[in-house]
Amino acid sequence: MQQRRTAHAQSQLTNGKARGGRLPKYLLSGLLKCALCGSSFIISGVGRYACNGHISRGSSVCTNSVRVAKKLVDDRCLAALREELLTPDAVEQIIRKTTRLIAARNRERQPEREHLQRPLTKVETEIMNIMSAIKAGILTVSTKAELEQAEAERDEGRQAGNITPARTGALPCTGPEF
């Protein structure tokens, strides 16, 4: 009798996913199947799984009347998952693969950013040079025009790339007047 009960209680884990895109209410909802009729095991009563075929359509459809404690099934399944899937090797592999994927994704995005960043850096350097010239007292009409031109280019570049301005710490603060 005990053996028969055990056989009946034995449910299969399937690859099925909970349908409808919503998170299942219980850990193994939709995953446990009756070994006799293939119906899903559902929560029946307080904290117990039972065959849906037996519960809703009676013994003529499925004779599996076993009701298993939800906690027992959940604990056993989680233990098996931990032991067989989450080995240190497996975890390390997952971390390595994730790191590779993130790096590859960053590389894909990099050229676009560099393409926009390079001319902007150049024009920002130009501005800094002109500012230095002004501070050094070399302020002429042409210096001022150059500065305005460079600043306009910089703003255009920033808008195109939507790049935030370099932190003020990057600007040279050589003189006490700054």
Q: What SS3 state is found at 129?
A: helix
Least Å distance, CB 69 to Zn ion, is 18
Least Å distance, CB 53 to Zn ion, is 4
- Between 62 and 147, name the residue whose CB sits nearer to Zn ion: 62
- Between 54 and 70, name the residue whose CB sits nearer to Zn ion: 54
Q: What SS3 state is found at 22?
A: coil
- Between 37 and 116, name the residue whose CB sits nearer to Zn ion: 37
Q: Which residue in the block uniquely carries the two structure tokens 């808008």?
A: 159
Tokens standing for residue 5 = 């009960």
- Residue 154 DSSP label: H
Footprint on this chain of Zn ion (rule: CB under 5 A): 34, 36-37, 39, 51, 53, 62, 64
Least Å distance, CB 71 to Zn ion, is 21
- Between 50 and 150, name the residue whose CB sits nearer to Zn ion: 50
Least Å distance, CB 35 to Zn ion, is 8
User: In degrees rounded to 5, what are phi and psi of residue 40?
Assistant: -70, 145
Q: What SS3 state is found at 44?
A: coil
- Between 59 and 132, name the residue whose CB sits nearer to Zn ion: 59
Indicate the pairing of strand 67-69 with strand 11-13: unpaired
| Helix locations, 20-177, DSSP H | 52-57, 70-84, 88-135, 141-161
* CA nearest neighbour of 59 among 30, 83, 39, 89: 39
Least Å distance, CB 112 to Zn ion, is 57
